[in-house]
Structure 1
Amino acid sequence: MTSRTPLSLLLAALLALTVAGCAKDTSTTTTESGLKLVEEGTLTICTHLPYEPFEFTEGGEVVGFDVDVLEIAAESEGLDTSVVDIGWETIVSGEALNTGECDVAAGAMTITPEREAVMDFSDPYFEATQALMTQTGSGISSLEDLAGKTIAVQDATTGADYVKENAPDDAKVVSFEDSALMQQAVKTGRADAGVNDNGLLDYFVSQNPDVEVTNEFKTGEEYGFSVKKGDNDALLRVINDAIGSDAYDEAAATWFEGSDG
């Protein structure tokens, strides 16, 4: 048996402490009503900013429709809320929930079979479809009009998937990390058009008259909030109650001018 010197033992101990310090604590606390939380007294929300009007920063705080709905759920349990801005791929893969970054994931997230395989979803809370945005007066009203032109999309979104499946072969598809960059690419002329969810683009157009939505593509999409797979049915029930509440209708009216989503 090979003996180890005191120095080597010390180095090994320091390495072990370093690894332990880098590991994410995935332990949870459970409320009296059965909700599992990564932080006692707080509903921790993962999202990817910005995605107006669903979640974005205003006055140093994260606000938006998704935030309002989850605050309704949190308040019903006497909880505070905390928002974590994290990569979209980390959210839709289920990694953010599995590693204890948050209790619930939000982000105008379409419920898909692939995502349902790695996360549990709430009831649908918003109907969406894909929209085509261009500079005002461009004359572009279909994907076919974009042959040989540039289309902006957002990474890992259903809009990006739709464009890749339906755009002309000679169209150039440029993918951006977040929705703000995608929208600015169209506004500034770096891209001839952009495709993303109608709620997002309709809101952007309402704030920017130099761009317009010229078409929508019916894709039958619905948004949901997600929790860790097979691990937080109690939290899903609380979120579903919030979606079905009068307070939800009031939040929808605030952000979508009376639309119920």
Structure 2
Amino acid sequence: MLTATACASDDEGETTSGGVPLVAKGTLTTCTHLPYPPFQFERDGKVVGFDVALIDRVAKELGVKQKIVDTPFENFKTGAFLNSGECDLAAAGMTITDERKKNVDFSVPYFDATQALLATAKSKVTSLAGVKTGKRTLGAQSGTTGESHAKEQGFDPVAFESSDAVLNGLRTGQVDAVVIDYPVVQSWLKDPANAQAFRLGEHIQTGEQYGISVKKGNDKLRAAIDKVIKESRADGGYNRIYEQWIGPLPQDQG
């Protein structure tokens, strides 16, 4: 697996034997936004994580290798890098929404997600209501459904460009609490220093599901992704990836 910054490929594209068009020969090019553990992040010079492992299976199905391209999260809403031919798909812990469906096509859902409130221990905040009554400062990652939910609840959250910036905002006192995807919080709290400094507050059930996005009309690639997701759930591969990168399976998980 290779990593790269956002730039157009110089390689000539191809169509696989199964009729799937690719922007670069021998490569399934994935747009993502780093870091977003446990879904995609760098470890020992490589990009790894839940999404990466899942898309590796798609690449194997197509007989090619995955290449990661780090891009701004905002572009996933518009499908900009898909439309420009820089990437074949986008995998970034991205929630399927009606607004995003206007610009991209999504795979079948591959992950059921919830939001969570994480606050500094000294703030003693455990809920969004507590943030409001305590006149605390709330943060969220820009362009995410966590930010949207906070705004829907009447907040004007401090917007951070990446999940790393969100965490740093908590550490440095820029904000007292943040709303972000629960699996990300799980990943942070594995660090003993974070577990001591921060407290997990309420879980926010938003009914969100993640999907892999492709360019509008790219039905061949979308079908290949759907096939891998469904087969992975059936053959136990999905569960193994989940346990490796996220943790114990939810009790209602297959």
> Could you say which TM-score interval applies, normalised by the shorter chain?
0.7 to 0.9
Secondary structure of 1:156 counterpart: coil
Structure possessing the higher radius of gyration over alpha carbons: 1
* Deviating more after overlay: 139-148 vs 57-66: 139-148
Rounded Cα–Cα distance in structure 1 between residues aligned with 2:48 and 2:12 = 28
1:105-158 CA-partner distances (Å, limit 9, x unpaired): 011000000111111101101011111001235321111212322111111011
Q: Which residue in the other structure is 1:154 paired with?
A: 141
Rounded Cα–Cα distance in structure 2 between residues aligned with 1:23 and 1:240 = 26
Of 191, 212, 227, 1:241 maps to: 227
Rounded Cα–Cα distance in structure 2 between residues aligned with 1:59 and 1:26 = 27
Rounded Cα–Cα distance in structure 2 between residues aligned with 1:167 and 1:89 = 22
Structure 1 residues 35-184: aligned runs within 5 Å: 35-136=20-121, 138-147=123-132, 148-167=135-154, 173-184=157-168
* Amino acid aligned to 2:180: N
TM-score using structure 2 length: 0.87
Maintained 8 Å contact 1:242/1:248: no
Q: Which residue in the other structure is 1:34 paired with?
A: 19
1:64-119 CA-partner distances (Å, limit 9, x unpaired): 10000000111122111100001111122111100011001011000000111111
Rounded Cα–Cα distance in structure 1 between residues aligned with 2:138 and 2:205 = 18
Rounded Cα–Cα distance in structure 2 between residues aligned with 1:117 and 1:190 = 35
Rounded Cα–Cα distance in structure 1 between residues aligned with 2:157 and 2:93 = 22
Q: Which residue in the other structure is 1:253 paired with?
A: 243
Maintained 8 Å contact 2:11/2:25: no
Q: How many residues align?
A: 236
Rounded Cα–Cα distance in structure 1 between residues aligned with 2:154 and 2:123 = 18
Rounded Cα–Cα distance in structure 2 between residues aligned with 1:43 and 1:135 = 40
Q: Which residue in the other structure is 1:220 paired with?
A: 207
Q: Which residue in the other structure is 2:4 paired with?
A: none
Stretches of structure 1 that go unaligned for 5 or more consecutive residues are 1-21
Cα RMSD for the two superposed structures? 2.0
Stretches of structure 2 that go unaligned for 5 or more consecutive residues are 1-6
Identity of aligned residues (%): 42
For residue 28 of structure 1, report the CA deviation from its aligned partner. Answer: 4.0
Rounded Cα–Cα distance in structure 1 between residues aligned with 2:46 and 2:223 = 27
Maintained 8 Å contact 1:143/1:167: no
Rounded Cα–Cα distance in structure 2 between residues aligned with 1:135 and 1:205 = 12
